[in-house]
Structure 1
Amino acid sequence: MSGLRARKRRETRDALARAARSLALEVGPANVRVGDIADRAGVAPRTYNGYFSSREEAICALHADRADRIAAALRARPADEGLHDALTQALAAEFLGPEPDRVAYRLISGDPMLRGEFLKALGTIEGPLAAAVSERLGTAEDHGLAAAAVAAAAVGAARAALVHWLDQRGDEPFADVAVRALAALRFAPHDDPGAR
């Protein structure tokens, strides 16, 4: 797929996700209709069906390229940097900038159908992240399991950070909470190139 075509697909997907999320906040998740999402995003309903299989998926959609951005950020970290530090910095960089929408995430966390879809969307980050971790660890055959476990732990820490951030009363930025959650993890020090 050409770069321009891929970018247009990401933009359309993001527009549909934003429309679905804003409608869910306005009228409640159960009252969101595909036609309304498509209309708000400025596309035909059949276009919507090419991107999402349910309104819950659209409401909870992460940016389509988030997993690839995190994996690319990890690959770009210095080779001699420890895995834990490199992964923490790569994930933190993804969450810098505008704060997540607390109201939207509270809506998602409070609705069982949306919560399940959100956890599924988070899981899509693990594969590309595990591949980048595996590259960083080298080619030993046991690194596949280690890389998958590291990616799952990192995504789990980010999810825990989000839950904590939603519950807190202060104004600590989400990126800082995510870094604190990741700091609680230590990844396979005997396999960590930076620990040698």
Structure 2
Amino acid sequence: MTVEVSLRERKKLATRAALSHAAWTLMVEQGLDAATPEAIAEAANVSPRTFRNYFASREEAILAGLVRQGTSLVDTMRARPSDEPLWDSLTQVLPSFVSAFIGERDDIAVLMRAVGDNPGMRAQHLVTYERVNQQIAEIIAERTGMDAEGDMTPRLLASVLAAVLRTSIEIWASDQTDRALPDLVRDGLAQVRDGLPIPAPRPPLDSSRP
């Protein structure tokens, strides 16, 4: 009986992953308008009814992969030595992790445009970051012996880390920098770890000079 339940659950997870992959691929290759629930279901070789059993909207399906990757981040953090300082673990894990799960810059640029242009995508994007934020808070609480719900520190630090990841990804996806994504994440983590030092203001330009 246990084996039967396990196989059933694995099949359900595989179907969910296939729908999410189909939704993401349609958005990236053909645009958000092409990623209808019916088209997603057809691409995944299931019925539209099956799609509705797994996802409430196309936006949720498109971004489900990022939530799933957040779970693997928790697993990676748990695999770090238990006596390793938390910041050292974060610095070791987050830069390489974010590069692996984000994928191609052009694909993320498409996502950012969809988020900016479509209210439904924007709302689901916020929900996705909140879920990843909660996952990070839980692993911080686990590593520090705190309560992810009752203690402020895990939630504050998780929010800051989520902001570092989001800002690094947005800068990288905007194609306004030649720096690699892991380097942007490392820089963001270092700034936060150092208390986010504010640089001295730049001297004003001398308008009288030619």
1:47 and 2:55 matched: no
1:78 and 2:81 matched: yes
Q: What is the percentage of aligned positions where both structures have the same residue?
A: 30
TM-score (norm 2): 0.75
- Alignment-mate amino acid for residue 40 of structure 2: I
Counting only pairs closer than 5 Å after superposition, residues 138-157 of structure 1 correspond to structure 2 as: 138-139=145-146, 144-157=151-164
Give the C-alpha shift of residue 121 in structure 1: 1.0
Q: In the alignment, which residue of structure 2 is the partner of 1:90? A: 93
Moved more, 135-144 or 71-80: 135-144
Q: Aligned equivalents of 2:12 and 2:174: distance in 1?
A: 34
Cα RMSD of the aligned pairs, angstroms, is: 2.9
Give the C-alpha shift of residue 149 in structure 1: 1.0
8 Å CA contact retained: 2:66, 2:128: no
Q: In the alignment, which residue of structure 1 is the partner of 2:174? A: 167
1:83-107 CA distance string (max 9 Å, x none): 1121232323423447623233222
The count of residues paired between Structure 1 and Structure 2 equals 188
Q: With CA pairs under 8 Å and 6+ residues apart, which has the higher RCO, 1 or 2?
A: 1
Q: 1:103 to 1:139 in 2, by over 3 A?
A: closer
1:65 and 2:71 matched: no
1:62-112 CA distance string (max 9 Å, x none): 345322221222222223322112123232342344762323322222223
Q: Aligned equivalents of 2:102 and 2:60: distance in 1?
A: 21
Moved more, 32-41 or 66-75: 66-75
Give the C-alpha shift of residue 162 in structure 1: 0.4
Runs (5+) with no aligned partner, structure 1: 189-196
Q: 1:57 to 1:141 in 2, by over 3 A?
A: closer
Q: Aligned equivalents of 1:116 and 1:106: distance in 2?
A: 17
Larger Rg: 2
Runs (5+) with no aligned partner, structure 2: 196-210
Q: Aligned equivalents of 1:88 and 1:7: distance in 2?
A: 33
Q: 1:37 to 1:83 in 2, by over 3 A?
A: same
Q: In the alignment, which residue of structure 2 is the partner of 1:184? A: 191
